[in-house]
Structure formats: structure tokens, C-alpha cells
Amino acid sequence: MIRGSQTLTAIFPAAFTPDSSRKGKKSVFTAERDTCLAYRFYYYYHIARKRFDDAIAIMEKEFFIAGTTIIARLTENDALLKDIKQNNPDRAALRKRYPHFNW
């Protein structure tokens, strides 16, 4: 048991019931993160006109993951990038989809 967890859980009621069938949540958010990475890369590379390496460097700081991981995830989701490019969303559409980012 983590030190202080009983004190904190007594103050704040549980927001959800934990799913005991799953041990980790690593794969739960991966698809959402990869989609967000694709849209953010589209913004930096296509709309903001950043160089490829500059866009990746900025995204490293935003997402707290290595550039090689970002490139690997974007490469794996190339169909999504093609779809984004085909739909050609503007800043307003990106702001609506991810309002917590500065577009």
C-alpha cells in the first residue's frame, strides 16, 4: 500500500471503481494519444510550417516522450495522417477538437 493513500482516499471518494481484470492502463490511452500526436504533427508541420525535426522536438516537450517514439507512432498511423491531410482541418477545427492546446 502506498504511504498516505488511505488518508487521501478518505478525503476524496473514488471517482470510478477499479477494473480488477486489467493490471495496467498503458494500452487504454495509446490510441487517443496517437491520434492527438497525428493532429499536433499536422498542425506544426503543415499549418505552422515548422521543419520536421523542429516539429518533433516541440512535440517531445509537449508529450514527454522521445522523438523516436513519436516518429514510430506517426509512421504506424500513416493512414490517419493521410486522412487528416485530406480533410485539411483549419486552426478552428483543431481548437474545437483539442481545446486544451494552443493552436
pLDDT in tens, 62-97: 999 999 999 999 999 999 999 999 999 999 999 999
| Per-residue CA distances from 34 to 21, 24, 81, 86 (Å) | 24, 18, 10, 18
**pLDDT given at position 74:** 95
Distance of CA 45 to the CA centre of its chain: 16
pLDDT value for 35: 96
The pLDDT of residue 18: 63
Say whether pLDDT at 19 is over 70. no
Say yes or no to pLDDT of 55 above 80.
yes
Q: What pLDDT band is residue 25 in, cutting at 50, 70 and 90? A: low
Question: In a 3-state reduction of DSSP, which class is residue 71?
Answer: helix
Joined grid coordinates for residue 32: 487517443
